[in-house]
A and B are shown apart, each in its own frame.
Chain A
Amino acid sequence: MHGISPLHYLIVSALLFSIGVTGVLVRRNIVVILMSIELILNAVNINLVAFSHGHHHVTGQVFALFVMAVAVAEAAVALGILIALFRNRGTVLADELDLLKW
């Protein structure tokens, strides 16, 4: 590794994380929101793997594997909810789901 310090990876991770958060907060379409959540999780994975490489230990990668598994499960369930929501409300826009409003 020449010139590439863990910091580079961490910065990439931070940037990806920010992009994902922005995406969650700025898009109205729930599908895109879910995609943004995947970006966030991936940013976390980059972080974990970078430190795993730095510490010469695979524990970080194990953790990243588990994150991946949970992310997959969460995506599947979330999309199932989205379908059910679409069938009931006829919309996939987060703005129109305001039952939490006082």
Chain B
Amino acid sequence: MVDSAHRLASYALQASLLAPLAGTAVIFFGGGFRTSPRAIPQRWPGVLAVALAAVSLALSIAAAFATSHGGAISIQAGEWIPGFGPAFSLQLDWLSSWLLLLLDIIGLMVSLFSLGYMKEERDQRRYFGCLLFFIGMMKLLILSGSYLLLFAGWEGVGLASYLLIGYHFERPRAAGAATKAFIVNRIGDAGFVLAIIALALTCGSTNYGAVALAAQRVPHGTLVLICSLLVVGAVGKSAQFPLHVWLPDAMEGPTPVSALIHSATMVCAGVYLLARSTFLFSLAPEVGVGVAITGAVTALFAATVALVENDIKRVLAYSTISQIGFMFLALGLGANRAAMFHVVTHAFFKSLLFLGAGSVIHALHGEQNLKHMGGLRKELPVTFWTMCIAGLTLAGIPGLSAFFSKDLILEAGFESGHTVLTLIGIITSLLTAVYSWRLISLAFYGESRRHRLAVHEGPVSMRVPLIVLAACCVLAGWIFVPIHWEAWPTMITSSFLAFLGIWLASHYYVGSPEARLAFDDRFAPLTNFLRNRWFIDAVFEEHIMEGLVLRTAAGAAAADAMLIDRAVDGAAWSSRQAGEGLAWSDSSLIDGIVRLVSAAVRFLSWPSRALQSGFVQSYALLFLAGVLAALGFCLSR
């Protein structure tokens, strides 16, 4: 009974993985190969995406259910390098099943939201095709049973991210943002690839199980190196300092894309990677400290920048960076469960925030600057209330899900004894509360600073996801993890911080403008520093983008001119020489042979031609010759 259910569950798992990818294939190949989008947007790609997302969710729930009762599901297939382990292996255990369900739920919500949000867009196929491709690749990443396959999914989501950020590629800023995202990701990927190679060389396989067994025997230094390289990869993908620069610019993509990819799933891939590699990091605790420090620093830095950002999506981008910093902090302190729990709660409230922002932007017909919003509370009720819930969750109000997850992290910090890191975590929590309420109040409260006055909610397809996600925000905390009621000091502290932050924000941003202006003047240099994002972006632009990328491009161009063009010219020259040689041989040899043949025929046929003179007397002479021969024969006898 258990066995057959298990088998069904494994089929469900595979189907869940294949469904979005099949959808991608159908969307890309099913609509013909016309590259220019249609004048009237098509309906079917979006509907198909939503349907497949729902189906995947159902399948994933079935598979996860089987896992929780029967243990992990593992599917292995194919052997490509002897002794290296199976080519394709999927694994569903507690770690991957959480993320699987998360991905499917948020994927469904985002697809549904996109139906309404992207309704006017002309190129429906490309959007939904890439969306499904992303979901499929992320699933591959989550479900994979080996580092190599994880990397395949890793790259896949990187590609999908590039395609989706650059959806409006006709805008140079969007195209540039997509490129920047891909390049920065690549830097991290380089580290990841090196780690995989090192694992393959030292452990003989990249399968989690095999590596876990073999890791004991790997020398310590090598392990530290491997773990550090994995951290580099995670930092690139999860937008931690110093490879965070791509995430804010990635907001150029459509808002649902940001909800799915850049808040809920992809950016958590790095966290997932590190969580998976516990058996490695437990053997190299030094790296864990580095991870924690990275996470803490990033969290603080990003939170400060989020305070002064004016673009609604950028605030959320920096918020994401900051929250993932919290997750890294947790991982570095060894609190894997806390980190994964925070991943789940963060996914819910962040995607809700993004979709809500999308709803606002949609209502305001493209306005994204907080300075031009305000007073939307009455006019966008659904959006307002759901975003309120999400913002409060982010701030850490007790009872909502993120309160519990953040508490777990702060607890871990207290227990570990790293006071500096814990202090940073506390300060960041305060700042988080401030900027999150700042966002809500600037957007929804106060006088209307809008250009447009008449706004209304989006269609049902946009409202339903908001409500569903808000429900998740509220409930997730109570469902998932047993609550450590005994850590009540932490709870009290964080609750206090949350309320303090909200009060500060509401006082500052909703209250009197004069106080605000005075505050701004006094802290102008700080504000400026923050506004310029600690000048990291500038440094990045100047040194990496300009220096590295452009110089590489110039080098490539020079190589192209010198080597490749010369090679092409050489090929052209040699083929011309060959052609001339062939022409010569054709005219002199081949033609010569043909002429020789004809001359031979003419020569050999001369006697026959001469015989056919047409003169009867000549013929008669031949008769005579024959007679003479006959007579001679008679004579000789």
Contact = CB atoms under 8 A, between A and B. Distances in A.
B613 A25 contact: no
A3 B616 CA distance: 42
Contacts of A97: 614-616
Query: Interface residue tally of chain A, by bracket?
Result: 10 to 19
B620 A101 contact: no
A25 B616 CA distance: 9
Nearest to B619: A100
Nearest to A21: B624
Contacts of A102: 609, 612, 614
A21 B614 CA distance: 19
Q: Is the interface of B mostly helix, strand, loop or mixed?
A: helix
Interface in A65-102: 94-95, 97-102
Interface in B610-637: 612-617, 620-621, 624
A98 B610 CA distance: 13
Nearest to A96: B615
Contacts of B613: 98, 101
B617 A98 contact: no
Contact of A24 (B609, B614, B615, B617): B617
A81 to B, nearest CB: 13
B615 A98 contact: yes
Contacts of B617: 24-25, 33, 94
Nearest to A18: B624
B615 A25 contact: no
A100 B624 contact: no
Interface in A10-32: 21, 24-25
A25 B615 CA distance: 10
Nearest to A98: B614
A29 to B, nearest CB: 11
Nearest to A100: B614
B624 A94 contact: no
B614 A99 contact: yes
Contact of B612 (A24, A33, A94, A101): A101
B492 to A, nearest CB: 125
B518 to A, nearest CB: 122
B624 A95 contact: no
B565 to A, nearest CB: 63
Given A21-B624, A25-B621, A25-B624, A100 B616 contact: yes
B157 to A, nearest CB: 85
Contacts of A33: 617
Interface centre among A94, A99, A102 (most CB of B within 10 A): A102
A100 to B, nearest CB: 4
A101 B614 contact: yes
A39 to B, nearest CB: 15
Nearest to B612: A102
A49 to B, nearest CB: 23
Contacts of B612: 100-102
A53 to B, nearest CB: 25
Given A21-B624, A25-B621, A102-B609, A94 B614 contact: no
A98 B621 CA distance: 15
A99 B612 CA distance: 10
B629 to A, nearest CB: 15
B616 A94 contact: yes
A39 B615 CA distance: 21
Interface in B574-622: 609, 612-617, 620-621
Interface in B119-154: none
A18 to B, nearest CB: 10
Contacts of A21: 624
B625 to A, nearest CB: 11
A99 B621 CA distance: 18
A33 B616 CA distance: 11
Contacts of A24: 617, 620
Nearest to A101: B614
A39 B462 CA distance: 128
A25 B620 contact: yes
Contacts of B614: 97-102
Nearest to B621: A25
A21 B612 CA distance: 21
Contacts of A98: 613-615
Nearest to B608: A102
A32 to B, nearest CB: 12
27 contacts: A24-B617, A24-B620, A25-B617, A25-B620, A25-B624, A94-B615, A94-B616, A94-B617, A95-B615, A97-B614, A97-B615, A97-B616, A98-B613, A98-B614, A98-B615, A99-B614, A100-B612, A100-B614, A100-B615, A100-B616, A101-B612, A101-B613, A101-B614, A101-B615, A102-B609, A102-B612, A102-B614
Of all A-B residue pairs in the complex, the 7 with the closest CB atoms, nearest first, are A101-B614, A98-B614, A100-B614, A102-B612, A25-B621, A25-B617, A94-B617
Given A24-B617, A25-B624, 16 more contacts: A21-B624, A25-B621, A94-B615, A94-B617, A95-B615, A97-B615, A97-B616, A98-B615, A99-B614, A100-B612, A100-B615, A100-B616, A101-B612, A101-B614, A102-B609, A102-B614
Interface of B: 609, 612-617, 620-621, 624
